[in-house]
Chains A and B, each alone.
Chain A
Amino acid sequence: MRLERRASVPRALLLAAPLAAVVFTLLVSSALVAWAGAPVGRAYALLLEGGFGSRFALTETLTRATPLILTGLAAAVAFRARLFNIGAEGQLYAGALAAVAVGGLHGGTGLEWPPALLFPLMIAAAMAAGALLLLGPALLKARLGVDEVVTTLLLNFIVLLGVSALLDGPMKDPTAMGWPQSVALQDALQLDKLIERSRVHTGLLVALALAVALRVLMQRSTTGFEIRAVGSGARAAAFAGMPVRWVAVKVALLSGALAGLAGAVEVAGRASYVTLDMSPGYGYSGIVIAMLAMLNPLGVVAGAVFVAGILVGADSMSRAVNVPTYIADVIVAVALVSMLVATMLTQYRVRRG
């Protein structure tokens, strides 16, 4: 058995790859469901229903998908330039913390500025926090060749410990009866509800708009051209006169800002304060989503809805048939691996002999 590189990749194959990966993932996961003693068909039916089958399920899925779209975009844009940002989780927390630092009810009132001024400031602070957090690893990579996978991954733990310290210190909400949570955001800065009687907020519209904007940026702008060229042929891009290091900096700022924005949107749209369990791994899931989407910003939306649906659906399934909710994590993880294999198989064909 050998792998041969395809001269050209058929478009149909590019569409089929994510679907095939998802089907394969569900097959693998069904073995685990059966092992847990649950009827496979019913478990999947419950999962589907719990994720997409009712108004409540759908709105919950969309609520979860909102930060996932943003972290998915953060990963997609960085990976396209071969900047492997594994630190979206930390950047998300940094953004959330910066949002609360600007817009929180510190000492009961917070900054008494008009919301029209304070809201953009809050968003800008969150994006800047995420961007700056990724700038260091990006510069270390561009200047010294330090592996950004290691630095961004380890920064996640540093940021999380830092958040933990702040939630027990200066950012602590004195009225939270000892719970480690930050002060709440000013009411005027909270995002409006998008759908009545649900938790879906206007952050979803922001995420969707950014997905479209990024698609246009990547395909139509000179910056997107630079990002794609540097990502798939840095030496050729440098030879042609592209500012390779500056592109790396731009990408780092963009990717970090998107992840930081995810944190701000979570705080302003859903949680209204920062806790240590605010993100169930949105930053890491964003990587899976970006891969499922083959780094296409529009595909990220579909991938985020899929992953959010699995996460939400697994909750209700586990209550009904007693399969641990960890099955959701397994499904997402297997989806990543099978997507990587599927992506490779679009580039190569398998031959005998």
Chain B
Amino acid sequence: MPAPEPILRLRGITKRFGALVANDGISLDLAAGEVLALLGENGAGKSTLVSILFGHYVADAGSIEVFDRPLPPGQPRAALAAGIGMVHQHFTLADNLSVLDNVMLGTEPLWQPFSRRAAARERLLAAARDFGLAVDPQARIGELSVGERQRVEILKALARGARILILDEPTAVLTPQESESLFATLAQMVARGLGVIFISHKLDEVLRVSDRIAVLRGGRLVAELPARGARKEDLAEAMVGRAVAPAVRRGAADTGPAPPPLCELRGATLRGGGARPLLDGVSLALRAGEVVAVAGVAGNGQAALAEVLCGERALDAGQLQLDGRPLPAQPGAVVRAGVARIPEDRHAVGVVGDLPLWENAVLERYATPAFARLGFVRRGAARAHAQALVQRFDVRGTESGGLDTLTRGLSGGNMQKLILGRALTPGPGEAPPRLIVANQPTWGLDVGAVAYVHQQLLDACAAGAAVLLISEDLDEIFALADRVAVMHQGHLTEARPRAQWTLASIGLAMAGGADDGAGERPGAGPSSPSDPADHAAGPAGGSPHAA
């Protein structure tokens, strides 16, 4: 239902960073009462475009009009005054202040002797009432859930009188249920005549919430179409620039008797500094040839679980065994035992950015006889290993520098391919890895790289490795996992077959509700007729993942 009168006009926006053209002559309109989805891979120019709109960057060329008035470039204050509000992916809230304080922050002039809290409170409550966003103005941000914090971010923009709201990857941190309530809020805002720009790379939710879709690729606007009738395959192709084959599962999961577990955690407990333990009696068995996924909202102990399995931290109580033998809490020993590890933070933990690619390729095995002799690195062997890895895992970005390219110069996808290759490629004379621990392996990657990473994990699994996938992306989990366990506040549910979970039951478990709520309809697909959030689910047994 595009309204005729645009409230926001972008004309010919161009922005260069050095040789890179981040935005190339982009023209877009936004009407009152419509949701415009901005779709694109990482690096397609979405963030640059909204940063220009919000005044963080100045465009090299082009103009912006808001409500028929030109917007002065490079002034966030002017953008706010013109009625543009932005909800960042990473919230900009002060944890130790109340909701009201956060909403008022920066709205009052410094020379005003007393702050007008009563009036601000009134504005906040009015906005909350109008848009159905229940919130307690006195609550401290630190005590709120992620979904509530996002609500505060939205209210902050609305209370300042935003008429155009930009949401940057708003569902990345939410449970399915929280996403649903966000979509309901969006509908209310649109009904009241606001314009919404919804930035995402998730096709299903874009199709679901938006009226129009603009696809960016390589800084250009490559497609602009109504959401009604748009097909996922076409959008994916427009985003990537070529058809993307989804990761293919190997033949049907073997139905024979379950082999003994390769890796087992029993009563694993890890006390952090906080009030509750990071891991609280976690038990999990991983078998060769299967993918087990751990779902959960960020910050519920997944990082600690990964650190334990990667040998970075020792358990305070409980056992970790590989092949029936205890696994020492030393990264080197864990690698030698045949564990391939893919860390969550590829920039800070996965690679040493200032070292060349070839040194990063042997970072885990630099001291083994294959790559070291008498205390010296066998550069020939190491470089040959790196070269093989670059070829096999299709690491790009080494055209000018070759193996001496500094690793921080690689794109996220190529960096992840390097880490994946390093983890999965055994050193000369070693056996391939038997256990793969992948923590958020596709976070922030583009569609093509996601499919590649998925395929590599599935191939390694088909070759007989056990795979533990820790992910916050339910699409990914339903696409790859044989069994799924859910983590909440350091507790891990039993790992049940994927078919026994529904999107609703998984969301409930992610929020800490009813551990045993799943499994009521064994054999049912992850979707059910009563489940409005069918966007992440597909037919039972099939792969619901399109891209």
Binding site for B on A (CB under 8 A): 4, 7-9, 220-223, 225-226, 228-229, 232-233, 235-242, 349, 351, 353
Contact = CB atoms under 8 A, between A and B. Distances in A.
Contacts of A8: 400-401, 405-406, 409
Contacts of A349: 18
A37 B401 CA distance: 51
B497 interface: no
A228 B355 contact: yes
B354 A232 contact: yes
Contacts of B331: 238-241
A130 to B, nearest CB: 23
B405 A233 contact: no
A241 B352 contact: no
A225 B361 CA distance: 13
Nearest to B354: A232
Nearest to B422: A240
Nearest to B343: A239
Interface in B448-463: none
Interface string B319-353: 00000000000111111000001010000111111
* Candidate in A225, A228, A229, A241 with the most chain B CB atoms within 10 angstroms: A241
B350 A236 contact: yes
B376 A221 contact: yes
B111 interface: no
Contacts of A220: 376-377, 379
A314 B312 CA distance: 54
Interface residues of B, number: 39
Nearest to B333: A241
Nearest to B409: A7
A221 B379 CA distance: 10
Given A229-B363, A238-B312, A221 B335 contact: no
B168 interface: no
Contacts of A223: 375
B348 A235 contact: yes
Interface string B360-381: 0001101100001001110100
Given A229-B359, A238-B331, 10 more contacts: A220-B376, A222-B372, A222-B375, A222-B376, A226-B366, A229-B363, A233-B348, A233-B353, A239-B349, A241-B333
Interface of B: 17-18, 58, 60, 74, 310-312, 330-335, 341, 343, 348-355, 359, 363-364, 366-367, 372, 375-377, 379, 400-401, 405-406, 409
23 contacts: A4-B18, A8-B401, A8-B406, A220-B379, A221-B377, A222-B372, A223-B375, A228-B352, A228-B355, A229-B352, A229-B355, A229-B363, A233-B353, A233-B355, A236-B350, A236-B351, A238-B312, A240-B363, A241-B333, A241-B335, A351-B17, A353-B60, A353-B74
A160 B311 CA distance: 45
B17 A4 contact: yes
Nearest to A226: B366
Given A220-B376, A229-B352, A241 B406 contact: no
A225 B330 CA distance: 19
A232 B335 contact: no
Nearest to A236: B352
A242 B333 CA distance: 11
A222 B370 CA distance: 13
B375 A221 contact: yes
Contacts of A9: 406
Contacts of B343: 239
Question: Which 6 A-B pairs give the minimum distances between C-beta atoms?
Answer: A241-B332, A233-B352, A241-B331, A232-B354, A240-B363, A7-B409
Given A221-B377, A223-B375, A236-B363, A241 B405 contact: no
B312 A225 contact: no
Nearest to B17: A4
A240 B405 contact: no
B366 A225 contact: yes
A8 B398 CA distance: 11
Contacts of A222: 366-367, 372, 375-377
B352 A237 contact: yes
B374 to A, nearest CB: 9
